[in-house]
Structure 1
């Protein structure tokens, strides 16, 4: 698939600047301004006030200083889907974001690795108390006591490979570098655990790499095939994939890096997904992500006993970036307790994109909010995004929002 003209124009310069900032600061890239806003569904049956308020919230987010060029939210309630959008999916053409546009879902991909692992627990191919020593004995002996449960809840203590100097140096030099995804943990294989397993919470990208490797060891099948058979097919996800390269399927939401006084730079295809893999490499659409989170947070995908374990939440365990309200960590799933009620889901951010996906515990109501820049570097913008997410959660739960 050819690289589009705008990507070639900004090319490696944009990618290196964006990714370099991300690695140094831990989060990066705010957006630019845009004005168009619309809802795809009319506002019958008294929804008009809610619709206008939600549209205004998205428009204000896009228009904020450093805001993303585009934003799209998909709210599904008991079979009715409403799509809200602001700004543009592509600054070159000005076309609006669409629910079928592809995008990088970043760390929301961790929920997919949880779906694979917990589906295998249901099938008794894995157990939550299986250890790295049992399943992956080639990994450092110091890690062997870590369990699948601890990996899924980010209480493992595994050092984060994405923070290693060697990994960061490679990405800075060539953001499109093709990594051997199954060897990413080698970047920290010389390090001990950061703390005794299970003793505290610490978000680590290494955790979900290890989860995927355990799933492969237990089944003898590639992680990509397990995703297809255990997640995509059961939930009807036709536009979701785990690529190895940097290109995105067409059409897609363009993700941008912006800086004050400079034109936005397209970083949609700046970074290879191989360096994120099971921790953040999945490409999906707002529509597919909505269907996924309803199935994973709800009862459709997992057996009751496994769901009970999945929803053993650890207070204070925040997703990255933090979602709306008070965050608590379950097994590859977070609880977001807002002023209007509670939803389960996941967030994510990567150069060009920030994601929030959540559902009610029965899976019948879902909300996804996707924006086309990486916002966590700017605390004020992240606070605005979290407030916007909370407004959508309130609408989802039929509560008033301001």
Structure 2
């Protein structure tokens, strides 16, 4: 099948394809069939208001789980032009929440004595540039490494613009910035970089002699019962899936889409170009199971968890609810109602939040079908963070 051509435009960070499209059509009402009778109407209304806001997603879903009790809030549709609501079993691109999965792999290898948090790139990955050799696994996991971000490199962005479905050698993504020095001295400050988790996955492969995808299956998917989660190399989405869209205003210099039609980005980009930093595909149901186990410390020892929860100043991308602090492949979100641990992510067509109480017994998964961040739509991000904090409050309040 020939690869279709796309507008050749400049891409920001993780391969954002800023293709032209029209404003979204009117959204379907919230589908509340699976929401318990005592569900919070205000939360459902707030989620629906996100879908009708300027630049808002065609669809949104939030899954709150307390113990064995699950509440599902949803708005809009899984695919424009239909009335199908988003389901908890619909696949989606989980974006940078995938960084928590690479953290789960690395921290378990620390527990098993295969890696140490103070192991350096020079020791484990000596083929990488000598200028990076002092960077430690700890610094990669909490984004204080200073590694230049491959996804912001002009050569990488040009390659994605020319062919969004291009198949990259995922294990050579850091070659795009191999001639660049560190942005700052390792450990000196926090700067979110997609290069960090590529290096984490490469470290895991180096010390085990096994593909990162196999390590994910053994150390993450199987222990937590994740049956609909994968790390593909191509652009295809498993069925069924929630479609992800670009809903930015039209560009008058590009051919228009059908009237009032967002552009479907679901299968526009190859996952090989983000790999361990954001290429995983999953479902709200599996994401819920993951964050309950991961944030609750189920996968690692108490000793390693103590190191993981050593916080530094830094926010996830996009910022999560409340005040953000960064740990090792996890963030602490301090809201007006209490603390949750988790991760956020954004990718063309999708925005994600996964969070859980520190014991893992209460969890929240929020998924939108458009990309929302401080660059693309700061006003919508502000509204989203407010809704996320309200959802956290609903999650943590006593019943």
Give the gaps of 5 or more residues in structure 2: 251-259
More helix by share: 1
Deviations 1:198-240 (A, max 9, x none): 0100000000000000000010000000000000000000000
What's the offset of the Cα at 1:21? 4.6
Matched, 1:329 2:322: no
Matched pairs, number: 385
2-side partners of 1:12 and 1:279: how far apart?
A: 26
RMSD between superposed Cα atoms in Å:
2.1
Q: Choose the corresponding residue for 1:285, options 283, 286, 306.
A: 283
**Where does residue 218 of structure 1 map in the other structure?**
207
**Residue aligned with 2:306, SS:** helix
What's the offset of the Cα at 1:354? 0.3
Q: How do 1:70-219 residues align onto structure 2 when only pairs under 5 Å count?
A: 70-219=59-208
Structure 1 stretches of at least 4 aligned residues deviating more than 2 Å after TM superposition: 11-14, 20-33, 38-44, 259-262
What's the offset of the Cα at 1:266? 0.6
Q: How do 1:38-49 residues align onto structure 2 when only pairs under 5 Å count?
A: 38-44=31-37, 47-48=38-39
1-side partners of 2:385 and 2:354: how far apart?
A: 12
Q: How do 1:217-236 residues align onto structure 2 when only pairs under 5 Å count?
A: 217-236=206-225
Matched, 1:267 2:265: yes
**Where does residue 35 of structure 1 map in the other structure?**
28
Alignment TM-score, normalising by the size of structure 1? 0.92
Mark the CA change 1:96 to 1:41 in structure 2 (over 3 Å): closer, same or farther. closer
Deviations 1:317-340 (A, max 9, x none): 000000011100000000001111
Deviations 1:337-383 (A, max 9, x none): 11111100000001000000000000011101000000111111110
Give the gaps of 5 or more residues in structure 1: none
2-side partners of 1:34 and 1:177: how far apart?
A: 33
2-side partners of 1:52 and 1:78: how far apart?
A: 21
Q: Choose the corresponding residue for 2:355, options 344, 355, 358.
A: 358
Mark the CA change 1:398 to 1:190 in structure 2 (over 3 Å): closer, same or farther. same
Mark the CA change 1:28 to 1:397 in structure 2 (over 3 Å): closer, same or farther. farther
Contact 2:288 2:363 in 1 (8 A): yes
**Residue aligned with 2:31, SS:** strand
**Where does residue 42 of structure 2 map in the other structure?**
53
What's the offset of the Cα at 1:23? 4.8
